[in-house]
């Protein structure tokens, strides 16, 4: 997406790998941005560590035009990771853990709450390419959800 900025590729990659390193230790963006400096101090220059730490600290700060492209890129990748097959897997994982009935997943996907979440999430993406990827992931989710609902209701003829 940014051919003139290839020098940041390794920094973006490392920050992406470590962006949730302290998830669960809140505020995880802040704790992660500090921890990564210690973890990578022998692997990166001080300048690289500052970039990596900044990306981790800001990866969840949305809709700020003044942020550099490399932070926005990690933000979009992080957001997109929550949709498509991962959304389906996470919904079933959480449903099983919460002992929900299988059709409760369908009800959630059909809810206004979920539709608002989708709209808000898409609106927080920074790049048109990210929105296209989001739309493709959402299309897959919707196709799966329709098939899943039909099978749960015995509406699929396998003959």
**What is the full DSSP assignment across 76-107?**
HHHHHTTSTHHHHHHHHHHHHHTT--HHHHHH
Residue 158 forms part of a structural domain: no
12 shares its domain with 70: yes
pLDDT the model gives residue 118: 97
58 shares its domain with 104: no
DSSP 21: T
Tell me what percent of the residues of the chain surpass a pLDDT of 70. 97
Band (59; pLDDT cuts 50, 70, 90): very high
Residue 7 forms part of a structural domain: yes
Residue 3 confidence (pLDDT) above 70: no
Task: Look up the domain containing 92 and give its range.
Answer: 85-152
Residue 100 confidence (pLDDT) above 90: no
Q: Is the pTM value of this prediction over 0.85?
A: yes
Number of structural domains, the chain? 2
62 shares its domain with 41: yes
Residue 134 forms part of a structural domain: yes
Residue 8 forms part of a structural domain: yes
């Amino acid at each position: 997406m940014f051919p003139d900025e290839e020098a940041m590729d390794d920094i973006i990659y490392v920050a992406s790998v470590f962006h949730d390193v302290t998830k669960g230790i809140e505020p995880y963006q802040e704790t992660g941005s500090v921890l990564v400096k210690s973890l990578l101090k022998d692997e990166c220059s001080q300048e690289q560590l500052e970039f990596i730490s900044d990306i981790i600290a800001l990866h969840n700060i949305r809709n700020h035009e003044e942020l550099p492209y490399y932070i926005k890129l990690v933000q979009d990748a992080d957001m997109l990771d929550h949709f498509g097959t991962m959304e389906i897997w996470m919904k079933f994982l959480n449903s099983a853990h919460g002992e929900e009935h299988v059709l409760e997943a369908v009800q959630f996907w059909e809810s206004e709450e979920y539709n608002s979440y989708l709209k808000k999430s898409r609106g927080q993406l920074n790049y048109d390419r990210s929105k296209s990827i989001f739309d493709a992931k959402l299309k897959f989710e919707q196709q799966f959800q329709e098939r899943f609902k039909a099978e749960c209701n015995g509406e699929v003829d396998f003959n």
